[in-house]
Each structure stands twice: as C-alpha cells, then as structure tokens.
Amino acid sequence: MDPLRALASLQRFGIKPGLATIGRMTASMGDPASSFPSIIVAGTNGKGSVVAMTDAALRAAGYRVGRYTSPHLRTLAERFVVNGTPITEQDLAHEAAEVQERVDALVADGTLAQPATFFEATTAIALSWFRRQAVDVALLEVGLGGRFDATNVVTPVAGAITAIGLEHQEYLGDTLELIAAEKAGVIKPGMVVVTTETRPELVAVFAKTCRVHGARLVRASAGIETVVNRDRFTTELRLTTPRQTYPSFRLGLAGAHQVPNAIGAVRLLEELADVGLPVTTDAVVRGLAGVEWPGRLDVVRVGAEGAVLFDAAHNPAAATTLAAFLRETYPEGLPLVIGAMRDKDTDGMARALLLCATHIVCTTPETPRAMPAHELAARTRRLGGAATVTMEPNPWQAVTAAWRHADTVCVTGSIFLVGQLLATAEARGGTRKQGSG
C-alpha cells in the first residue's frame, strides 16, 4: 500500500493513551529525540499560538527549528515543519514507510501487541525527520492531555502549559483540576515550565507536580508590566518582564486573547537562555511581530463575493473567546458558518456563538467524524436565541448563503472546516487581509 495511505488508515485505531507503544517505537529507531533539545507545549487553548510564536522567535535568532503540531489545516505535511518549511510529500512518504516498516517488525516479533495509532506514527515521523534535518531545537505541541500523549516520550529541556478548559472528558476527567493534572504530566525532573494559566487552583496543580519532580514553575503573568493598545485586528504591545524590557511592537496574531499567549511565549524564550538556547530581545520582537498562524482570526477577501473571517475555535472556551472578539469588532453581529465534529461539545460552542450571530448556517465538514448539518442545526435551534439558524450541507454553498446577509461572514467550529474552506477561498483568488492571521 502507498505509505501515506497506509498512514491515514491508522486513524481507524482511534486514540489509545499510553507511552508504551511510542516508547518501543522510538527505541527501535535509536531514540531520535536524543539528537536535539525539545520544548513541549500542552494546554487546552493557545498552545498552537505559543508554539508558533516561539518558533518564529527562535528562527529569528538563527536557530534551525523543528515544529510538530496537530491537527493540520489543509495537508498532513503542515504538521512536520523545519525552519518554516513543511516536509515534502516525497520525504513524508519515505519517513512514513520507514516508521511502518519498524512497527510491522515490532508487531511480528511480539514487542508490540498491536499496531501504532495514527498519532503515534506521526509523532515518530516528526522525531525521525527532525533528526534527519539536524535541527537545533524541536517544538512539540501535545495532541491530547499530556501524561499519556505520544509527544511525552521526549525528555524536554523546557515546556509551557497554556490555559485549561473542559475537553476530551472521556480521556482526561470531568473537572478542570483533573484535566490540569493530565496536562502536568509533561513536567519532567529538572525542567522549567511556564504557564499562562492564572486560576490559583489550577496553578496549584502544576506547582505540586513541579515540587514532586524537582522542576521549576514560572507563572507567565507574575511580575509583568504591559501596555496594550488594540484596534480591531491590531495589537500594539509593550512588555516588561522580571528579566527584560521590550520595545513596543505590533503582535502578528490578532485578538486580545493572544496577549497572554505572547507573554507566555516571551517568558518561555527567556528561560531558554538557561538551557543553552539564548534568544536576543530583537529576535523575540521580530518573531512575535512576524508570526503567522493561519486559520486563527484570519480574514480572507474573495473578490467581490465577500470576506471570510476564519477561526478554528472547536471547544466552548475557544468559542467564548471568539465570541468576545466578534462582539467587540462587529457589535452589530454577523452571519456565522459552523461545522463541528460529533465528539465535540457543540451545545457549549453554540451557546457562546449565538450571542454574536445574526444568522447561523450549519454545514458538514468533509470528514467522517463530522456531525451532519441537519443535526447541528436542530441542536442549535433548541438553544434559542435571536439568530436565524439554517442548514446547508455543502460548506462553500453555506458560505455563499451566509454572504446573502452580510459582506463578512465567520467560519468556525472545526479546524477541518476552516482548512477546507480556507483552501477553497484561496483557490477562488482570495487574498489575506493585512493584520489578520
């Protein structure tokens, strides 16, 4: 079978938390993660943004950086990035074939009782690729939780834990404290971990884990002085930390919620000096000003058809953050196109988004996990609210329907939907609005 098709087929094995399989896989590969220092980033919301900002600043400082994130917007190659460039399809196929060959051998000799999951395989691919590319440092975004996530096979020199919210309760627990404890599972002896979480009961979970492991916890907001000037999609930030004063700069990512993420990235970058990865003030500023993270408050104009604001909010906490931005930026409201996965808290997301929507068009992302448009529409209508709720299974036709009500519409609810429609918008000649994304 084609290596990339074989890799995609592993998704049928679902999610199997635990480190035994990935540990045996990487051991058979000669422990590729021992070839470079790793930085791990966990959390519910904001971890991708922190990874993107840290990556941009490290590259601005001259480091060769590997970046592993998930899920992807458009192509699988986006998960495996070295110095801002995704892996080629040919190299990805080669890495996938090598990993599959090792897994088959481990299953055959009884070392593995079952095949690897999709995420275990992609994590092994990332570590192998980063070794082959001789990166100076690798940034790894945790997929789910932390303690039993495949990325936790590495021994990081530093890490970050972003804000905690309710997610994947069937795996992580049904309280914020239990979820925080799972995220804290990435903390290893002697490392430094920066957290953007501010709620005392959750910070206490991280602090306890750090005490147990002899690790050091840095609260990103502690001792910080900020001056923030915002205007719709632009944020000017002046920042003083206990270590450094930074000149005023325009943050590359839009939204008030990116300010704590930026502070977290800055504090993490400062701590890297203690593990042999110093980053200058100039590199920090250039990185955070130039960072790009598509699909997050990302506006694309499609000629005379209209504009689309893409945001990959896919849980209630992220939807609440998006709704706050939309209420501030579009006080008159705007039409929304929403698609979601069956396993998501769609009611929680819809409750938040109903507060800023004039119309909601429910659609079906092109993935087997998607909730059908008619079901999402029915669930959303049951919640009440002033917005008119309709359905259109075809995603692009849903956007077209929403444009009948306003020139700008918002697409959200699923990273799969955002990726699909972002690609369609760009294929139709869409251009990114300056200051978004």
Give the pLDDT of residue 437.
47
Mean confidence (pLDDT) of the chain:
94
Closest Cα to residue 179, out of 196, 162, 160, 154?
Answer: 162
Q: How many CA atoms lie within 13 A of 387 on its CB side?
A: 30
Residue 120 vs residue 229, higher pLDDT: 120
Query: Is 103 within 8 Å of 3 (Cβ atoms)?
Result: no
Q: What percentage of residues in the chain have a pLDDT greater than 70?
A: 98
Give the pLDDT of residue 13.
60
pLDDT digits (tens, 9 = 90+) for 57-80: 999 999 999 999 999 999 999 999
Whole-number Å distance between alpha carbons of 208 and 214: 10
Which of 2-16, 234-248, 368-382 has the weakest average pLDDT? 2-16
pLDDT digits (tens, 9 = 90+) for 325-344: 999 999 999 999 999 999 89
Whole-number Å distance between alpha carbons of 264 and 194: 7
Question: What is the CATH topology of the domain spanning 298-432?
Answer: Protein-Tyrosine Phosphatase; Chain A (3.90.190)
Q: pLDDT at residue 11 above 80?
A: no
Whole-number Å distance between alpha carbons of 359 and 297: 19
Whole-number Å distance between alpha carbons of 237 and 250: 6
Residue at token pair 């098709």: 5
Backbone angles phi, psi at 149, to 5 degrees: -75, 145
Question: Which burial class, exposed, middle or buried, applies to 287 when counting CB atoms under 10 A from its CB (0-12, 13-18, 19+)?
Answer: buried
Backbone angles phi, psi at 147, to 5 degrees: -55, -45
Whole-number Å distance between alpha carbons of 245 and 428: 44
Confidence of residue 12 (pLDDT cuts 50, 70, 90): low
Residues in the chain: 437
Sequence spans of domains, the chain: 3-290, 298-432
pLDDT digits (tens, 9 = 90+) for 388-418: 999 999 999 999 999 999 999 999 999 999 9
Domains 3-290 and 298-432 belong to one CATH topology: no
Query: Is 292 within 8 Å of 48 (Cβ atoms)?
Result: no
Q: pLDDT at residue 435 above 50?
A: no
3-state secondary structure of 417: helix
Cα 291 versus chain centre, distance: 14
Question: Tokens at residue 19, please?
Answer: 């480190």
Q: pLDDT at residue 170 above 80?
A: no
Mean pLDDT of 161-171: 82
Domain 3-290 has CATH 3.40.1190.10: yes
